[in-house]
Amino acid sequence: MNEKIIENLFKQYIESNLGSQTFNSYFKEIRIKMFENGNVKILCPNNFVLIYIKSKFSDTILNYLSTQNPNMKKVIYETFSTTNTATSARKRQGHSKSHLTDNHQLSAMSNSISSSINQPGSLFLSSTTLNPNYTFETFVPGNNNLLAHAASRAVADSPGKVYNPLFIYGDVGLGKTHLMQSIGNVIRVSSPHFKILYCTTEQFLNDMVSSIKSQKSLEFRSKYRSIDLLLLDDIQFISNKVALQEEFFNTFNALYQSGRQIVIASDRPPSEIQHLEDRIRSRFEGGLVADVQKPDYETRIAIIEKKLQQRNEYVPREVIYKLAEIINSNIRELEGAVLKLSLLQKSQNKPITILDLNKLFNLKLSSKAKSTKKVSYLEIIKAVSSELEVSIRDIKSTKRSKDVSFARHICMYLIKEILNLNLQKIASILGRKDHTTIIHGIKKIKVILESDPNSESSQIISSLLESLRDYQIK
Ligand code: ADP
Ligand code: MG
C-alpha cells in the first residue's frame, strides 16, 4: 500500500479512536514515510509533538502500522527539520513556537520513554491480532444487540470495573467477534501499556496442551496470567474438554481475582454449554451475559448503508431495501452481498437497479406473482422513504425536523387510506405512543391536499397514493 494511503488510514484510525481533540493537537500534521528495509518514519512538526506521541502512543502506533504492513520492522520518530520534506509543513505549523516550551516539556517527559518502544512486541501478547476494522465506529447498534453493545462500550471505557466477565453469545455471523475486538481496539489506544490478548478458545487450549507436553506449564501460566485484557472467542469449544477445564479455571480465576477484564464469546449461553464444570459456568454467569440476535429489517438497512459508506459507494435506496429483504439473518452474508453489489456497480459503471439485484441473486420474481401480492404497510413506508429520501429509521424516530415529520405524516395518511388500519395499530407501526398523533398527522396531509392540489407536496402524495393503490388492485 502506498504510504499516503497508509498515512490517511492511520489518521482516520487515530481520530476515530482517540477523538478529534487529541488528533488535532498531535496527529494532524504528522507525516508517515515507509522504507524498503521495513523501517517506518513518523515525521512530527516539532519536538514536543514527537516526545508526546512517542511516549504516550508508541504502542498504539506500532500495533496499527504492523497490521497494515506485516513486514514492518521499526518505527523511527523524527521532526520535519531533520528531513527534506520539512519546510512546508513546518511553515504551516508556525516554526516560531517557543523552544523554551519544547525543551521544558521535553525534559519532563523524556523519562517516560522506554528504550524498547521501537521493538514490535511478541505477536502473541501484543494486540496485533486485533482486526483494526472491528471498531465501535463500524458497528451498527440495533434492537438485536442493544445490551451487548452497551455493555461492550462500558467495558471498553472501564476495563475490569463494570462487567466481569462479559459473556456475549449468539448465532454465527451476528457480530460477537466484532464487538469483542472493538473493546480491544479502544483499550489498546486508551491504555497502550495494557497487554491484550484476543484468541479463540481452540488456540488457547492448544497452547495449554503443548505447554504441558513440553513441560513449560510455568511459562504458560506466567504468560497468560500477565494479561490485562483477555478476549476469548468461541468458548463453546471447551464443552467436551473436561480434562482441560481445571487449568482453564485456574487461569480464569487468576485473571479475574486480580481485576483483569475478561470478555468471552460463545454460540450459546453458559447454561447450554455441555459438560461444563458448574464452577466455571457460575463464573461465566457471575458477570454480565448478553445476547446478540438476528438484526431486524431496519437494522439490516442501517448495516447495508454503513458498509456502503465504508466502501464509499452509493446504491439507490430501493435496491438497499430489497437487499435487506432478501438477506435476513446472517450479517456476514449481508456484508458479502454488499460487496457483490458494489463490484457489479463498479464493473457496469452505472447505478445498480432492482433488476440487476434480482439477476445477481437469481431471484425469479415473476411479474404475475408480484402483481397479486397485496401491498403491506412496510411497503408503503418504504415507498415514502425512498420517494422523500428520509430513512425508515428516521420516520419511526422521534425526530421532528420538517422533512422527517412530513414523510411520517404521509405514511400515516397512506396507511389509513390504503389499508384502513385502525389508529392504534398505525401508531404502533410508526412507533408513536398515542393515536391522537395519527389523527393530527392525517389531518395535516388532508389540509395540504385540499388547500392546493397542484402544489409539489400534493403531487407527491397523490402519486404515491396512486401507485400504491394500483399495486394493490392489480
Ligand atoms: P460472529 O463472531 O458473531 O460470528 P462477526 O463478529 O464475525 O460474527 O461478524 C460477522 C461480520 O458481520 C463481520 O464482518 C462484522 O463486521 C459484521 N457485523 C456483524 N454485526 C455487525 C453490526 N452490528 N454492524 C456492522 N457490522 C456487523
Ligand atoms: Mg466470531
Reply yes or no on whether the pLDDT at 176 is more than 90: yes
For the residues of 45-67, what is the DSSP string, one character each?
Answer: SSHHHHHHHHHHHHHHHHHHHHH
Tell me which of 120 and 461 has the higher pLDDT.
461
pLDDT in tens, 143-174: 999 999 999 999 999 999 999 999 999 999 99
For cell 434492537, what's the residue? 143
- Residue 86 belongs to what H/E stretch? helix 86-93
pLDDT in tens, 5-42: 888 888 988 888 777 778 888 899 899 998 888 889 99
Apex CA 130: angle with CA 181 and CA 213, to 5°?
A: 105
> Does residue 173's CB lie within 6 angstroms of at least one atom of ligand 1?
yes
Ligand nearest to the CA of 301: 1
For the chain, the distance separating the N- and C-terminal CA atoms, rounded to the nearest angstrom, is 55
Residue 200: strand pairing partners: 233
Range with lowest mean pLDDT among 43-47, 202-206, 372-376, 447-451: 372-376
d(CA 389, CA 66): 41
Q: What is the pLDDT of residue 88?
A: 41
Ligand 2 mean position to 251 CA, how many Å? 22
Reply yes or no on whether the pLDDT at 332 is more than 70: yes
Q: What is the pLDDT of residue 116?
A: 25
pLDDT band at residue 127 under the 50/70/90 scheme: very low
Tell me which of 455 and 93 has the higher pLDDT.
455
d(CA 120, CA 73): 7
Query: To test the ligand 1 pocket, which listed residue (329, 332, 339) has its Cβ within 8 A of the most ligand atoms?
Result: 332
Q: How far is CA 32 from the centre of its chain?
A: 26
pLDDT in tens, 372-416: 456 889 989 999 998 899 999 999 999 999 999 999 999 999 999
- When pLDDT is averaged across residues 418-423 and rounded to a whole number, the result is 91
Reply yes or no on whether the pLDDT at 270 is more than 60: yes
Supply the mean pLDDT for the chain. Answer: 83
- When pLDDT is averaged across residues 118-145 and rounded to a whole number, the result is 70
Q: What is the pLDDT of residue 363?
A: 61
> Grid coordinates standing for 283?
463464573
User: What are φ and ψ of residue 347, in 5° steps?
Assistant: -70, -35
d(CA 126, CA 130): 9
- When pLDDT is averaged across residues 69-89 and rounded to a whole number, the result is 68
- When pLDDT is averaged across residues 95-104 and rounded to a whole number, the result is 37
d(CA 255, CA 249): 10
Q: What is the pLDDT of residue 471?
A: 62
For residue 165, cis peptide bond before it (omega within 30 degrees of 0): yes
Ligand nearest to the CA of 170: 1
d(CA 97, CA 228): 39
Q: Which ligand 1 atom is at minimum distance from the Cα of 134?
A: 16
d(CA 460, CA 474): 21
What SS3 class is residue 43? strand
pLDDT band at residue 125 under the 50/70/90 scheme: very low
What SS3 class is residue 230? strand
d(CA 102, CA 48): 5
Q: What is the pLDDT of residue 82?
A: 64
> Does residue 280's CB lie within 6 angstroms of at least one atom of ligand 1?
no
Pair 171, 294: CB distance under 8 Å? yes
> Grid coordinates standing for 196?
491484550
Q: What is the pLDDT of residue 367?
A: 40
- Residue 407 belongs to what H/E stretch? helix 402-414
pTM of the predicted protein model? 0.59
Query: Which of 357, 384, 331, 416 lies closest to 144 in space, CA to CA?
Result: 331
Share of the chain above pLDDT 70, in %: 86
State the amino acid at position 163 in one-letter form. Answer: Y
Range with lowest mean pLDDT among 51-60, 104-113, 114-123, 367-376: 114-123
> Does residue 149's CB lie within 6 angstroms of at least one atom of ligand 1?
no
> Does residue 302's CB lie within 6 angstroms of at least one atom of ligand 1?
no
Q: Is 42 exposed, middle or buried (0-12, 13-18, 19+ CB in 10 A)?
A: buried
| DSSP3 helix / strand / coil % (the chain, rounded to 5) | 60, 10, 30
Pair 263, 183: CB distance under 8 Å? yes
